[in-house]
Amino acid sequence: EAGVTQSPTHLIKTRGQQATLRCSPISGHTSVYWYQQALGLGLQFLLWYDEGEERNRGNFPPRFSGRQFPNYSSELNVNALELEDSALYLCASSPSWTQYFGPGTRLLVL
């Protein structure tokens, strides 16, 4: 069974630009979660999508947004990039209780 996949693996942007990160969940999983893992800040919850709807969001500004498509894949958009947005962005999918993580997208903002 294929795991959670994310693309791209690395992304380099400059301040003010927009970044788009993609996630494909494990087949059969309808929930997708996004987390930010920044140096020194640990893993922080960003967004939760289920059945195409945004169900919850963490303590992040509105320039972090996303969506979930009918095939349950998801996209995370970060607008007006700031230097502190540099981090590993992790996507997880879940059938119920357990969350399974992808390898992440490492975003570097210069």
Partner 1 sequence: QQQVKQSPQSLIVQKGGISIINCAYENTAFDYFPWYQQFPGKGPALLIAIRPDVSEKKEGRFTISFNKSAKQFSLHIMDSQPGDSATYFCAANHHNAGNMLTFGGGTRLMVKP
Binding mask 27-66 for partner 1 (x = CB under 8 A): ----x-x-x------xxxx--x------xx-x--------
- CA separation for the pair 76, 67 (Å, rounded): 7
Q: Does 74 bind partner 1 (CB under 8 A)?
A: no
Q: And the tokens for 40?
A: 């020194």
Q: Does 100 bind partner 1 (CB under 8 A)?
A: yes
Contact 33, 100 (CB under 8 A): no
Instruction: Classify strands 10-13 and 105-109 as parallel, antiparallel or unpaired.
Output: parallel
Q: Does 83 bind partner 1 (CB under 8 A)?
A: no
Give backbone dihedrals phi and psi of 45, rounded to 5 degrees, phi first. Answer: -70, 135
* Contact residues for partner 1, defined by CB under 8 A: 4, 31, 33, 35, 42-45, 48, 55-56, 58, 90, 92, 94, 97-104
